[in-house]
Structure 1
Amino acid sequence: MEDIFRGILGITVLVAVLYVFSSNKKAIDWKLVSIALGMQIIFGLAVLKVDFVRSIFDWIGSGFVSVLEFTKQGSTFVFGGLMDPSNAGFIFAFQILPTILFFSALSSILYYLGILQRVIYALAYVMTRVMRLSGAESLAAAANVFIGQTEAPLIIKPYLDKMTKSELLCLMVGGMATIAGGVLAAYIGFLGGDDTASQEEFARHLLTASIMSAPAAILAAKILYPETEEVDTNLEVPKDKIGNNLLEAISNGTSDGLKLAVNVGAMLIVFIALVAMLNAICSNTLGEWVGWTSDGSFALLGDAFLPHQDTLVQAIQIPLPPTEEMVKVVEETIVTGSNGVDSIAFTIVEEAHSVPRFDIVYDTLLRNEMDIRWAVIGQETVTGANGITSTVPVDGWVLYADTKSNIPLDTLSYTGNEMNRMSLNMYTNQSTEGRFPAFNLEYILGVVMSPIAWILGTPSEDILTVGQLLGKKTILNEFVAYADIPSVSDNITHKSKIIATYALCGFANFASIGIQLGGIGAIAPERRTTLAEFGVKALIGGTVACFLTATIAGMLV
């Protein structure tokens, strides 16, 4: 029941955030909002709880996994042994980026044959009838499920000039709340690793997330900017093809995929390097300069931070196998002589005793490797106002032997040493049990976003880790966040990994504001002013839509 209560709380908080940023609170169509939320919940229940529906999505997911295998065949021909992780290890450029190429070409084939348009039309038809949307925004919302935020507007190009502001925001939020099919296959490779069953599981979750986020995006957009004008309900998919024949469509799709793959690779190099640089700046400045003294008071620089106190050379006794030592023992016995006189006789007896042995080693503990606890470090005598003397414990920072050293833990003899300060780096490492080695950008993002991670349903012990993934996704992009999941997956529960999968499944980040201004603005130059006006609102709406989807998933998994 806790998951249900937290899910209801999360949905309430997220809808309240949208309400706060609404441009016209009185005009909000709460019936439409309820229908959109109901569609999300019903679809989530169907996929995650109904075996028949789940088997359908498992079958679709296995198709995406097959795409990965087909890509591997082509990549192996070009890259040879570099595709085998057992030979060269995991190389992102060879194992992940080629999937973007192949899936982009495959999408072009499906679009040229008219298959993709039919699927988009069917999904748009349902949303038009159920939520009473215009034809243009229904088509855009459906298209965003399968293609990117700059490609989806092409589906409704004839309508862009006449779309209302509410419809235009709905288009933008939909683009931010979903992902492109080309990168979806890459995310499956990220999350599933080399295990086929795991790949199929996360393929199902990613597909579910992308589809659930379509009504969530409509919900968010219609709260942020409610519709107050008459709209065109005409529903017609343009017949334009991306090529004069099938071969040209494949060529165009491959070229587009190549641009995307190169852009993704370059973006990851730059953004991950920037994160590393900002991490180093944070840990080497604030992380080293700020801390607390042994009496618990705040300290900034000063004598408490002398260099020689940043490391400790500690003597540790390592028990060795004991040796047997012969010990001479003198025993007294009473002997009666022939004359009848008793006397004392001394007998020497040799006995074997087990003698313990110890080896002394000296272990240097660095500041970020110390196991530090606030504990009793001694006692002091205090005389009260009534003249009565008593002994009270004295608290302080106590340093224990390093549990991360190469010395076996079960043979380590723990000894405590008083120290006079704890830095932010030390505290961060100790309080997170090593998940964050120092006070850095990732830890800051984790702290800021951890309340959001909690309302999404993330287990309490994982909210810092999931929070920093949410922060990276918003500030940088979802690709960087997904790329970080393999490095933290051993430290979080499976449920947290699933919730993160849903929460990250969208293009909602600051860079996407510029992408939409450039992409949609190029198709409809006269709407650039409105696009610029809605940039931040679209980011808020897309982010909340992804979080709504994750919250519902957190209630069900």
Structure 2
Amino acid sequence: MKYVIAIIGLLAVFGLTYITSKDRRNIRYRPLVQMIVLQVILAFLLLNTSVGEFLIRGFASIFESLLAYAAEGINFVFGGIANEGQAPFFLTVLLPIVVISALIGILQYTKILPFIIKYIGLVLSKVNGMGKLESYNAVASAILGQSEVFISVKKQIGLLPERRLYTLCASAMSTVSMSIVGAYMTMIEPRYVVTALVLNLFGGFIIASILNPYRVSKEEDILEVQEEGKQSFFEMLGEYIMDGFKVAIVVAAMLIGFVALIALVNGIFGSVFGITFQELLGYVFAPFAFLMGVPWKEAVDAGSIMATKMVANEFVAMLDLSNMTTLSPKTVGIVSIFLVSFANFSSIGIIAGAVKGLHEKQGNVVARFGLRLLYGATMVSVLSAIVAGIFL
């Protein structure tokens, strides 16, 4: 039965994407089939084989070590502030972002990351049928972040037509930056984080290829990566440490605001209608949760978490998921994979602002297709959850 539901779910995702496509005649089906098959194979390997378990355990152990090293610095500065036996969210989940950001800076400075990103992108471009720039951007987004990635291609931003610009922005919203992966792993199981990262990479291309199809000529298929200004090692290190701290502070501020506002709205709805706002949204998203493989009796609860991620952000939704003890392991896995992306309303402003800071006219273009961007990125999350749900 789960295979039938998965097939219906896939048809629903592709149907909803197809009917909103900008140019159905230009959709290329061969790369789509290749990427869907790759998604299924990768989901099986990561979730159902000893090789996948080994890879995920290794990836998770790296971040566990990084979080342990981060704790050394955090305890030095903040030791004694927390009550004994308690683990404040800001200290244990957000502040380690500073250390991981510093490590990313070192790998950037030593040219290791640019090399990896560029050549993985080139290999991907052979599979997805898109340009080198789009493939590079998808990999770079997953490592550098949804704002920082545009700086690395700022020379080309002003030259891109709307359709190629959309694909770049869709990649940035569908993936998550490596600097906050460690934070996710403290809130949901590492294997779901890793699986979502891999599936979203291909899912972004699949949805963009249907929603926003186009062809890139050989003359247009040029990748120009902007080299960072020459800095000393310690200048660079200080900059990345401060960038990581800013991310932690911004996420903390957004959590304070969103959690409080959702509580306020829930209180108003509860007193007026006898049902919370999240429960109401849960009914709206329940059919999607069911098509992702969630049992119907848990679909409303799962749908409310999915809606929270879209309206607020993934951190708020992950907190809700960790507090919901009535869900089955399968539902937790499916919803966890859905949550690992930047597909929410606040990301529209973040991405549009990042592009506008580099090129005002193109920033305005991004703002205009912002809702379409969110729609596409949400379809990517649903697609990844459906594929993963087959093997959970």
Which TM class, normalised by the smaller chain length?
Answer: over 0.9
Paired with 1:234 and 1:53, the residues of 2 have a C-alpha distance of: 35
- Counting helix residues as a fraction of each chain, which structure ranks higher? 2
Residues 230-269 of structure 1, C-alpha deviation per residue, up to 9 Å, x if partnerless?
A: 363334544436x612222221111111111111111111
TM-score normalised by structure 2 residue count:
0.95
Equivalenced residues, count: 391
Using the TM superposition, give the Cα deviation of residue 215 of structure 1 relative to its aligned residue in structure 2, in angstroms: 1.5
- For 2:145 and 2:62, the matched residues in 1 are separated by 20
1:236/1:52 CA distance change after superposition, 3 Å: farther
Per the TM alignment, residue 279 of structure 1 is displaced from its structure 2 partner at its CA by: 0.8
Partner of 2:362: 527
Instruction: Give the whole-Å Cα distance in 2 for the aligned partners of 1:40 and 1:524.
Output: 35
The aligned amino acid for 2:291 is I
Match of residue 316 from structure 1: none
Letter in 2 for 1:134: G
Correspondence 1:104 to 2:101? yes
Matches within 5 A, 1:139-158: 139-158=136-155
Query: Could you tell me which residue of structure 2 aligns to residue 77 of structure 1?
Result: 76
Counterpart in the other structure of 1:418: none
Aligned-pair CA distance for 1:35? 2.1
Deviation at 1:468, TM superposition (A): 0.6
Inter-partner Cα distance in structure 1 for 2:338 and 2:127: 25
1:399-446 deviation line (CA, Å, top 9, x unaligned): xxxxxxxxxxxxxxxxxxxxxxxxxxxxxxxxxxxxxxxx10111111
Q: What displacement does 1:556 show? A: 0.9
1:264 paired to 2:251: yes
Give the match for residue 364 of structure 1.
none
Q: Comparing 277-286 with 225-234, which one deviates more in the overlay?
A: 225-234
| Equivalences for residues 195-344 of structure 1 within 5 A | 202-228=189-215, 230=217, 232-235=220-223, 237-240=225-228, 244-287=231-274
Q: Is the 8 A contact 2:9 2:386 kept in 1?
A: yes
Q: 1:120 maps to which residue?
A: 117
Q: In structure 1, how many angstroms separate the alpha carbons of the residues matched to 2:353 and 2:12? A: 32
1:277-319 per-position Cα deviation (integer Å, ceiling 9, x unaligned): 11110111121xxxxxxxxxxxxxxxxxxxxxxxxxxxxxxxx
1:139 and 1:156 in contact (8 A); partners too: no
Are 1:491 and 2:326 counterparts? Answer: yes
Q: Which amino acid aligns with 1:159?
A: Q
Unaligned runs of 5+ in 1: 192-201, 288-438
Residue 170 (1) aligns with residue 167 (2) = yes
Match of 1:182 in 2: 179
Looking at structure 2, the residues matched to 53 and 149 of structure 1 have their Cα atoms a distance apart, in angstroms, of: 27
- How far off is 1:159 after superposition? 2.1
Which residue identity does 1:118 align to in structure 2? F
Compare relative contact order (CA 8 Å, sep 6+) and give the higher one, 1 or 2: 2
Structure exhibiting the larger radius of gyration computed from Cα positions: 1
TM-superposed deviation, 1:101 = 1.3
CA-to-partner distance for each residue in 1:470-521, whole Å, 9 max, x for gaps? 0011111112111222211x21111111111110111111111111111012
Matched, 1:505 2:351: no
In 1, Cα distance between equivalents of 2:216 and 2:112 = 33
- Please say if residues 18 and 211 of structure 2, whose CA atoms lie closer than 8 Å, have aligned partners that are also in contact: yes
The question of whether the paired residues in 1 share the 8 Å contact of 2:153 and 2:225 is answered with yes
**Which amino acid is the alignment partner of residue 152 of structure 1?**
V
Q: Which has the higher strand share?
A: 1
Report what 2:288 is aligned to: 452
Given the alignment of the two structures, is residue 29 of structure 1 paired with residue 16 of structure 2, yes or no?
no
Q: In 2, are the aligned partners of 1:472 and 1:480 still within 8 Å (CA)?
A: yes
**In 2, Cα distance between equivalents of 1:256 and 1:5:** 46
* 1:4-35 superposed Cα distances (whole Å, 9 cap, x missing partner): 22211111101111111111122211222222
| Equivalent of 1:134 in 131, 135, 157 | 131
Q: Secondary structure at 1:541's aligned position in 2? A: helix
Q: Aligned partners of 2:21, 2:278: CA distance in 1, in Å?
A: 31
- Verify the 8 A CA contact 1:217 1:545 in the aligned structure 2: yes
Residues 455-482 of structure 1: per-residue CA shift (max 9 Å, x gap):
1111223212211110011111112111
